[in-house]
């Protein structure tokens, strides 16, 4: 049976932590976390977010172990709408990352705080 994006998100078996960009910015200063932008490179080029590392959703699982071998590193994920960020967070939790948070707000809000 095919699932819509909303059904797919509802089926994520984890309670994924979410924060605003303002809260994420404060936390990252305190916990030395990193911001991962899972948008496609063309999206990032047109609206870059300062300090965010671009790892597109399609290659996230393949790149994360190289970039962040510490499973306890605080990781904050964002995208344009939150869908890719939630799906990416699910996969990182499946991989064993223990401190994954989705930033849930517009790109404009994220850019304002980073």
Domains of the chain are 5-113 (3.40.250.10)
pLDDT at site 14: 83
Asked if pLDDT for residue 1 goes beyond 90, the answer is no
Q: What local confidence, expressed as pLDDT, does residue 93 receive?
A: 96
Element counts in the chain: helices (H) and strands (E):
6, 5
Res. 26: pLDDT tops 90: yes
Biggest CA–CA distance in the chain, Å, is 44
Q: Confidence band (pLDDT; 50, 70, 90) for 13?
A: confident
**What average pLDDT score do residues 70-86 get?**
96
pTM: 0.93
Helix (H, G, I), strand (E, B) or coil at 61: helix
- When pLDDT is averaged across residues 100-104 and rounded to a whole number, the result is 97
What lies within 8 Å, CB to CB, of 85 at 6+ separation is 38, 77, 78, 79, 102, 103, 104
**pLDDT grade for 89, boundaries at 50, 70 and 90:** very high
Please list the residues that pair with 17 across neighbouring strands: 101
């Amino acid at each position: 049976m095919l699932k819509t994006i909303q059904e797919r998100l509802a089926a994520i078996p984890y309670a994924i932590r979410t924060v605003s960009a303002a809260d994420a910015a404060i936390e990252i200063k305190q916990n030395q976390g990193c911001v991962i932008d899972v948008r496609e490179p063309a999206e990032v080029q047109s609206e870059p977010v300062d300090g965010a590392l671009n790892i597109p959703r399609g290659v996230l699982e393949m790149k994360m172990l190289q970039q962040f071998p510490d499973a306890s590193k605080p990781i904050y994920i964002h995208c344009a709408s939150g869908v890719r960020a939630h799906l990416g967070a699910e996969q990182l939790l499946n991989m064993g990352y223990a401190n994954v948070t989705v930033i849930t707000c517009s790109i404009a809000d994220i850019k304002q705080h980073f």
